[in-house]
Structures are given as structure tokens and as C-alpha cells.
Structure 1
């Protein structure tokens, strides 16, 4: 399955707080930053602890880069690229998002291989 999946209304997301959503068959962490209608979507799975906790992470910035810090071990991830700022060999998958008629939508990737 590919295309855009409607997840929630923009107003349902509290600025600078995360929310978890099931997009297709993948858990995604959504973040709406203060004073913006743009929503970031990254993996909900923390690659260090292997726990689905990234939506509970702390939103902040480092060097002008919007970040989320894992609630488990505090590694910071760039919300735009998913790159871990503390370990360049680790990253979170980033999901394209858009806001359409007040709804947050996340793009589903094309399925590769057999269904």
C-alpha cells in the first residue's frame, strides 16, 4: 500500500509534544513544533533501546536544528533528517507529512516485494 494516510487533526497535536500513530503497519512519532503547522514524523522505535518510545521524547534544538531526545538514553535526533546527533551511524526513518484541510497526513511508502 502506498499513498497518504490521514492520521489526526492538526489541532489534536500539542505543540512541542509527541504523539504516536500507526501508519500502515508502522509505528510513527509525530511532532508539531510551536508556532508552525508543519508536522515532523519519525520512527517511534528508539534504535538504542528497541522500545517504542520516541513520541515521549523531549523536543528541543541543538545548533539551530530541531531535535527530539530519546526518553530512554537521551540521544538527540534531527527531526528533519532523522540523523542521531550523538552517533552518526544511527538514524530514525523520516516520514513525509502534509496538512490537508486541517488533517495531518503521513505518506506511506510503496511496498517492495511480495505482499
Structure 2
């Protein structure tokens, strides 16, 4: 997940924020962003399955999606308002910042699971 979030964050700041006003950038950006953000749907159950027992998987996954639904419920109207007030480039910068914070959270979570020691190739 951290790798996918890092790639998506770099993609937003390297491609969309500086070149978002060119229509030709829209097609490759949409394709690459779809690959990056689409993997969240397939990797979330894997990550949840790593922290719970098989018997509790449905409960944990349902709770995960329940908690994340509040972000979607609140985020879409806020994004629409930001789009009208600030414009698409600043909205993309805010989205990239949110992805950056998510990446930081994943790095801290991995670090804490490894008992505050940094190991690159450790199984968590």
C-alpha cells in the first residue's frame, strides 16, 4: 500500500499540479491514477486480512469500510466546494497532500509494527 500511495503522490505532484491545464496530460494521468487508486480496492482486504483472524475477517473489513465511508461522505462535498473556490490545480495539490499524509501514516504504522526498528525487507 505504501508503494502505491507513494507512486500516486509523486504522480499528482509531478504531472497534474504543474501540467494539469493541458488537455493532453489528462489521458495518461487518468490511466496512471486509475492504476494507483484502483489498487486501494484490491489491497485493502489483503491488509485487513493480515491483522485479524480468519473468523473475524468480515467484521474487520466491514468496520474498515464503515469508518472510511465517513471520509467519502464528507470529502466529496468539500472537494466540490474547493473546486469552485480554489480551482482544479489547488484541489489536486490538496489531494496530493492527503496522499502524502496517508503515506506518512503507513510508514509510521510499519515502523511501529517492527518494534520501532527500521527493516526494509521484514515481514510484518
TM-score normalised to structure 1 length: 0.26
The structure, 1 or 2, with the larger RCO (C-alpha pairs under 8 Å, 6+ apart) is 2
Higher strand share: 1
More helix per residue: 1 or 2? Answer: 2
Question: Between Structure 1 and Structure 2, whose CA radius of gyration is higher?
Answer: 2
Tell me the TM-score normalised to structure 2 length. Answer: 0.24
